Amino acid sequence: MRRQWSLKRVSVRLVDCRKTSEMVNSPNGELLSENGLSGEADQHLYNEKKSVYKTKLLKKQEHRPTGEKPYGCDQCGQRFAQSGKMVTHQRLHTGEKPYGCDHCGKRFAQLGNLVVHQRIHTGEKPYGCDHCGKRFAHSGNLVAHQRIHTKEKRCGYDQCGKKFAESGSLKKHLQIHTGEKYYGCDYCGKRFARSGNLVTHRRIHRGEKPYGCDQCGKKFVLSGTLKNHLRLHTGEKPYGCDQCGKRFSMSWNLKNHLRIHTGEKPYGCNQCEKRFSLSGNLKHHLRIHTGEKPYGCDQCGKRFAQSSYLVTHQRIHTGEKPYWCDQCGKRFAASVSLVVHQRIHTGEKPYGCNQCEMRFSMSGNLKNHQRVHTGEKPYRCDQCGKKFAYSGGLARHQVIHTENKPAA
């Protein structure tokens, strides 16, 4: 009986029957495939399958609207053309990380990120530069590297000369010189040079913190801030100083630390000539000139220029002494007091006089000592005008005036 064929039973998957079917001889000598069909019928089935596959593929492409994004995130409203991309995006909100590294246990929201991460362990560098042969673990690093070989675009402003591989990057850079800020916040009017910065800024007004820590539940406005925060839990310190080997969890901490070795102090006070390696230190210093003391004690009302001073002061009221010496057990309210105290046990004297060979365990003692060489006498008696190099000398002197004062 001749077999009847129905297109409804044909699979959409294109299978080359001519390659996969093993040809055998029928009893009458006719060549048959392993499914019992003659070579002619087998070829016919192959052509039918191919035709159905192409028809369905064309229909799928015809019904795919260009630019349409039918899948929307119910957390932030961002839309996607593919459901898979939306599922991946939603992991930013849920914190889900289904892909884990079998070497170190680190987890990732996307499979691609796990694949790239595993190259740290395997040492694989699949991307090679066709100009110099240098190899990279990430395609983005290769792209950035190849710009060394291609023609660069230079900033035309005097005393800048910065180079860029892409015209878009140069355009954004020029806004630093021109001060142009095209993107404005409709809440407060603040303007930004880049649209991405405006998107991030708006989250402050909306109270949006889409990035959550799966360890402690703390939430953040920026994904980078979450990434840095997670290192508090993991103890990861990926940034190392090539001068002393000290390691840091954040790149800006390393950048600030390097200034100890270079002596760089980019932040200068406009009231005096003092300079600082950190912008925060300059901010605190300026309060000496302005007299600003924004931090007040709720117990006695005393005010301070820095919040850390207030925290230390409040321990006078609470009696708290959280820092203790592991040599003698003595306790202290401030960490700096413990550090100075421990020099009694170690004999360390880190402060040396540049006029003589004397060394001191405390910077204040060195400052007092240097007055021997400079002749400076900053302490003056308000009774007779006599000056002293040390506050203790002034205090002993003032006893003379109080003893000679006639009794009332």
* The two domains 79-146 and 267-348 share their CATH topology (first three levels equal): yes
- Of the chain, the percentage scoring pLDDT greater than 70 comes to 76
Q: What is each CA distance from 264 to 113, 134, 259, 261, 324, in whole angstroms?
A: 37, 33, 5, 8, 34
Rounded to an integer, what distance in angstroms lies between the CA atom of residue 120 and that of residue 247?
Answer: 19
173 alpha-carbon distance from chain centroid: 21
**Could you count the other beta carbons within 10 Å of the beta carbon of residue 244?**
11
Q: Is 30 left (phi over 0), alpha (psi -120 to 50) or beta?
A: beta
Mean pLDDT of all residues in 284-300: 92
**Could you count the other beta carbons within 10 Å of the beta carbon of residue 211?**
19
Of the ranges 40-44, 108-112, 194-198, 236-240, the best mean pLDDT one: 236-240
Mean pLDDT of all residues in 109-117: 88
pLDDT for residue 341: 93
Give the 3-state DSSP-derived string for the chain, with helices as H, strands as E and coil as C: CCCCCCHHHCCCCCCCHHHHCCCEECCCCCEECCCCCEHHHHHHHHHHHHHHHHHHHHHHHHCCCCCCCCEECCCCCCEECCHHHHHHHHHHHHCCCCEECCCCCCEECCHHHHHHHHHHHHCCCCEECCCCCCEECCHHHHHHHHCCCCCCEECCCCCCCCEECCHHHHHHHHHHHHCCCCEECCCCCCEECCHHHHHHHHHHHHCCCCEECCCCCCEECCHHHHHHHHHHHHCCCCEECCCCCCEECCHHHHHHHHHHHHCCCCEECCCCCCEECCHHHHHHHHHHHHCCCCEECCCCCCEECCHHHHHHHHHHHHCCCCEECCCCCCEECCHHHHHHHHHHHHCCCCEECCCCCCEECCHHHHHHHHHHHHCCCCEECCCCCCEECCHHHHHHHHHHHHHHCCCC
Token pair, residue 104, equals: 């170190």
Token pair, residue 70, equals: 């039918």
Rounded to an integer, what distance in angstroms lies between the CA atom of residue 198 and that of residue 186?
Answer: 10
Q: CATH for 267-348, among 3.40.50.720, 3.40.50.300, 1.20.120.10, 3.30.160.60?
A: 3.30.160.60
pTM of the model: 0.38
Whether pLDDT at 350 is above 60: yes
pLDDT for residue 404: 65
Token pair, residue 144, equals: 């950035």
Mean pLDDT of all residues in 10-29: 42
- Of the chain, the percentage scoring pLDDT greater than 90 comes to 32
Rounded to an integer, what distance in angstroms lies between the CA atom of residue 26 and that of residue 37?
Answer: 10
Rounded to an integer, what distance in angstroms lies between the CA atom of residue 387 and that of residue 378?
Answer: 7
Among 36-40, 216-220, 221-225, 363-367, which stretch is predicted with the lowest mean pLDDT?
Answer: 36-40
Residue 226, Cβ density class (10 Å: 0-12 exposed, 13-18 middle, ≥19 buried)? buried
Mean pLDDT of all residues in 317-338: 92
pLDDT of 198-208, one tens digit each?
999 999 898 88
Whether pLDDT at 22 is above 80: no
Whether pLDDT at 325 is above 90: yes
Residue spans of the domains in the chain: they are 79-146, 267-348
Q: Which CATH architecture has domain 79-146?
A: 2-Layer Sandwich (3.30)
Token pair, residue 164, equals: 């860029």
Dihedral sign for Cα 331, 337, 339, 344, please.
Answer: negative
Mean pLDDT of all residues in 297-316: 92
| CA angle, 169 then 196 then 109, to 5° | 105
